[in-house]
C-alpha cells in the first residue's frame, strides 16, 4: 500500500469528498483498490489498539523508574498535600506534581504520596520502580521492620502492597530530607495554592 496515495485519499475524504470522487485523484487504479487500502488501514489500527506496542507501554524507555514522594500536613491532622517526582535512571525527570488530598495526618499524607506516585508510574508504563521518601516510619512499616498498629495506616499499607503487585519489581528506600527537597516543595506549593489546577 502506498502511504502517499493513502494520505491523499484520507485528506480528500476528510475534506468532505466521497470515495467515488477521491479514489482517482489520490492515484488509485480503481474504487475497489482505494476501498481495500482503507480496509487494510482499519485492520492495522484495530491490531495496534488490541496489542499496544512496548513503546506505548513504556514511554521514553520507562522500563525502570525512580519515584521521590513526600506528604505534607499542616495541623497534624490538617490540610494536606502530596508531592511526587518520577525520574529515569539517567536522572531525567519524567513527571512531577503536587496536589491537595484534604485533611490528614503527616503519616497518612506520606502513605497517600506513595500510593499516588505508584499509580502515576503505572499509568506511564513503568515496570520496575524504586520509591524514595524521607519518612523513616513509613519506610520501616512498608519494609516490615515496624509493625503497623494504626488501623488507617494498616489499610494504606495494604493499598501500597496492592499497587506494588502491578510491578515486576518494587522497592522502598529511605532518603535524607535534603535529598527529597523537590518533592517536599511540590507538596507545600500545592498546600499554598488557593485552587488546584
Q: What is the pLDDT of residues 3-33, one digit of tens each?
A: 778 778 777 877 788 888 888 888 888 888 8
Domain region containing 162: 59-192
Pair (136, 111) in one structural domain: yes
How many domains are contained in the chain?
A: 2
66 HSE (CA, 13 A, CB side): 14
In angstroms, the CA 72 to CA 108 distance is 9
174 belongs to a structural domain: yes
Q: Is residue 92 part of a domain?
A: yes
Do 86 and 166 sit in the same domain of this protein?
yes
Q: Using an 8 Å Cβ cutoff, are 72 and 188 in contact?
A: yes
Is 118 within a domain? yes
Residues counted in the chain: 197
Write out the three cell numbers for 47. 491490531
36 lies in some domain: yes
Give a yes or no: residue 197 inside a domain: no
**Strand pairing class (169-174; 93-104):** unpaired
pLDDT in tens, 42-79: 666 555 444 433 333 445 558 899 999 999 999 989 99
Residues 88 and 182 in one domain: yes
pLDDT greater at residue 82 or residue 37: 82
Amino acid at each position: 500500500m502506498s502511504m502517499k496515495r493513502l494520505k491523499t485519499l484520507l485528506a480528500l475524504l476528510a475534506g468532505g469528498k466521497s470515495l467515488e470522487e477521491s479514489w482517482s485523484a489520490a492515484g488509485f487504479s480503481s474504487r475497489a483498490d482505494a476501498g481495500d487500502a482503507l480496509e487494510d488501514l482499519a485492520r492495522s489500527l484495530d491490531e495496534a489498539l488490541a496489542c499496544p506496542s512496548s513503546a506505548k507501554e513504556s514511554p521514553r524507555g520507562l522500563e525502570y523508574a525512580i519515584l521521590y514522594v513526600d506528604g505534607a500536613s499542616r495541623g497534624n491532622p490538617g490540610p494536606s498535600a502530596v508531592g511526587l517526582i518520577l525520574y529515569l535512571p539517567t536522572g531525567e525527570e519524567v513527571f512531577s506534581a503536587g496536589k491537595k488530598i484534604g485533611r490528614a495526618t503527616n503519616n497518612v499524607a506520606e502513605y497517600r504520596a506513595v500510593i499516588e506516585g505508584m499509580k502515576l508510574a503505572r499509568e506511564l508504563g513503568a515496570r520496575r520502580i524504586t520509591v524514595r521518601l524521607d519518612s523513616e516510619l513509613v519506610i520501616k512499616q512498608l519494609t516490615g521492620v515496624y509493625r503497623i498498629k494504626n488501623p488507617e495506616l494498616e489499610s494504606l499499607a495494604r493499598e501500597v502492597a496492592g499497587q506494588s503487585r502491578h510491578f515486576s519489581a518494587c522497592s522502598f528506600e529511605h532518603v535524607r530530607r535534603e535529598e527529597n527537597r523537590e518533592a517536599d516543595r511540590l507538596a507545600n506549593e500545592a498546600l499554598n495554592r488557593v485552587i488546584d489546577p
